[in-house]
Chain A
Amino acid sequence: MSVSELKERHAVATETVNNLRDRLRQRRLQLLDTDVAKYSVAQGRSPVKFGATDLVCCRTLLGHTGKVYSLDWTPERNRIVSASQDGRLIVWNALTSQKTHAIKLPCAWVMTCAFSPNGQTVACGGLDSVCSIFSLSSTADKDGTVPVSRILSGHRGYVSCCQYVPNEDTHLITSSGDQTCVLWDVTTGLKTSVFGGEFQSGHTADVLSVSISGSNPNWFVSGSCDTTACLWDTRAASRAVRTFHGHQGDVNTVKFFPDGYRFGTGSDDGTCRLYDLRTGHQLQVYQAHGDGGGKLPVTSIAFSASGRLLFAGYANNSTCYVWDTLLGEVVLDLGELQDSHKNRISCLGMSADGSALCTGSWDSNLKIWAFGGHRRVT
């Protein structure tokens, strides 16, 4: 077949794809008979109301000397690892605020960090395009240098996010500026699967975030600069199971809803959204009003244990809205509370038992927020 014939086929195929996508969009719109907020109002749900001292800053973790970019809790034992522009990972005891480890990184430009399920290793990645694994039982020298246990190399762009597969200390998933996600075998340092890429169906721009389902670790979702989120099955890497449209800007952050069948997203378009995995429906849009018309990019999100609260950090000084996910309303701004951060909140993480939220900020601090009062919700 000649090149001109191929180009003609390309044009026809492109038009067919666009028509099919349009049909799919129309059909989905017909199925969107309501959203979570309208449904909840019809059910008579009462809003969540926070008093002035109901959610308080319990701890301020001081120690980083640069912007905090990422944090992660251990599944147990209340420890946190954080990554900062100062080129260090710090492991904290969240209850006592003590630092248990301060690891100087080979490459200071770190963007993400994660704890292994057993809490014995930490992973990080960034502009060096590799994911480095450190064992917390290794001895550090006086500079805080801990030898790297394993380097996961192979990405052709920065590593934006990493997360261990739940209950598997030997596998983790990374997302990258090279438009792919990769499932790694940490023991061998090799790629097990690559999701997306130049000739595979997947994201068409930088992938910024991943979240693995706690109830089904074979599933994970990714968010990308191509304005979509994708659902992947690690057993079938050739294409995304489903692509979720709706956002009009980079999808900076994705997080599974506690039930494992929904997930939330945060985007440069200023909205957070709730999607249903199995149907692909967009169930709710959470858009703030004011602050430039609700166009402040969302940097990070986290759900409370029941899913009733959605915490969302925004790209301005310290704003962190607490959304009532059922009624679609902002019920609190952590940035307005006493002892709040002094700069942008760049990362959020909920503790395993849901009793505390940790926020990391460009002010170089981490803060832990917990419930300080009593309240009834009907």
Chain B
Amino acid sequence: MSAPSCSVGGEVGGETCSALANSSLPPPCPKSPPEYPDLYGKRREAARVQMLEREIGFLEGEIKFIQGVQPASRCCKEVSDFVVANSDPLIPAQQKSQRHGRFWKWLCCGIPCLSLASFCCCCRSECSCHLKKPKCCIGSKCCGGSCSSNSCCCSSCSCFRCCCRSCPDLSCCMPTCFRSCTRPSCLNKKKSSCCRCSCKIRLSSCFRCPKLRLRCCFCNCKNLCSNPCCLAF
């Protein structure tokens, strides 16, 4: 009797070919990979040890150094002597006469500030200094307009804000979109911080964020104001 022939998927004598094949071969016994020496790990460990031993040298040097270091009181004296010996424009060294004090005030308030190196000015928003205020509204006051405290009569802005008319306050000024975004309209008068635009630029790089122990991926720009590190920024 000839050995039963077996084609793939065929049956011989009531048993499948695969069953016949399995019974004649030992079960698979895959070998474990050979134990290669972990050279990378060893080298890193050696480098760490070397760094620690170098640090030991540095610390021993520092301990020797500190034996001859002066106490903190000497350093405090140096600080104090330096501060007292040097003038400070924000703290006059000696009291000026009342007349001189009035001179600074006369110079600053109501009179255009001279181009002094020092900022002597006490210019406030009411001062008629030579400053040119931007035409955007500042707080509840409008520059040159006849507005009530709650309305804003901005015309075109000379700064980077686009003021919209009849806005309750500065917050409705929408920033111009300059990151490949179309100019937004002032749809939402309450929130000014976000441009409603779609970015044409898609960034797929991931940033490692400051002071965070995770990476934020900035993968697409749905909102100009979203930033990859919104938790820290």
State which size class the interface on A falls in.
Answer: 35 or more
Contacts of A109 in B (CB 8 A): 207, 227-229, 233
Residues of B within 8 A of A (CB-CB), count:
82
Question: Which residue of the partner chain A has the closest CB to B52?
Answer: A13
A274–B202 alpha-carbon span in the complex (Å): 45
- CB pair A31–B69 under 8 Å, yes or no, is yes
* Residues from chain A with Cβ under 8 Å of B75 in the complex: 262, 276, 279, 281, 283
Q: Which residue of B lies closest to A375 (CB)?
A: B92
> Known: A31-B69, A339-B124. Contact between A20 and B89, CB under 8 A?
no
Q: Which residues of A contact B164 (CB under 8 A)?
A: none
Q: Does B31 contact A (CB under 8 A)?
A: no
Nearest CB in chain B to that of A373: its residue: B101
Q: Are A258 and B82 in contact (CB under 8 A)?
A: yes
Known contacts A55-B90, A370-B121; is A7 also within 8 Å of B69 by CB?
no
Least CB distance from A182 to B in Å reads 17
Verify if A152 is at the interface (C-beta below 8 Å from B).
no
Within the complex, what minimum Cβ distance (angstroms) separates B154 from chain A?
Answer: 12
Given the complex of chains A and B, what is the CA–CA distance between A66 and B192 in angstroms?
11
Given A32, A64, A306, which contacts B91 in the complex, CB threshold below 8 Å? A306
> Which of A3, A257, A371 contacts B92, CB < 8 Å?
A371
Closest Cβ of chain B: how far from A225's Cβ, in Å? 7
Closest B residue to A108 by CB, please name it. Answer: B179
Which residues of chain A have C-beta atoms less than 8 A from B15's C-beta? none
The answer to whether A305 and B89 have CB atoms under 8 Å apart is: yes
Chain A residue with minimal CB distance to B176?
A65
Which A residues touch B78, using CB under 8 A? Answer: 259, 261
Query: Residue-by-residue, is A201-229 near B (CB-CB < 8 Å gives 1, otherwise 0)?
Result: 10000101000000000000000010000
Contact in complex: A225, B211 (CB < 8 Å): yes
How far apart are A57's CB and chain B's nearest CB, in angstroms? 8
Residues of A close to B53: CB separation below 8 A: 13
Name the interface residues of B79-128: CB closer than 8 Å to any CB of A.
79-80, 82-83, 86-96, 100-101, 104-105, 108, 113, 115, 117-125
Q: Does A120 contact B (CB under 8 A)?
A: no
B49 touches A63 (CB 8 A): no
Question: Known: A3-B42, A85-B233. Is A35-B72 also a contact (CB below 8 A)?
Answer: yes
Name the CB-closest residue of A to B79: A36
CA distance A62 to B11 in the complex (A): 88
Give the nearest-CB partner of A143 in chain B: B178
B23 at the binding interface (Cβ < 8 Å): no
- The answer to whether A374 touches B104, judged by C-beta atoms less than 8 angstroms apart, is yes
- 30 interchain pairs, CB-CB under 8 A: A3-B42, A6-B46, A23-B63, A35-B76, A39-B73, A56-B121, A56-B122, A62-B134, A62-B161, A63-B159, A65-B176, A96-B130, A127-B207, A127-B228, A158-B208, A201-B58, A208-B210, A259-B79, A262-B75, A305-B87, A305-B88, A325-B83, A326-B80, A338-B124, A353-B117, A355-B90, A371-B92, A372-B121, A374-B95, A375-B92
The 7 closest A-B pairs by CB, nearest first: A370-B119, A372-B122, A376-B95, A65-B175, A13-B52, A306-B88, A355-B118
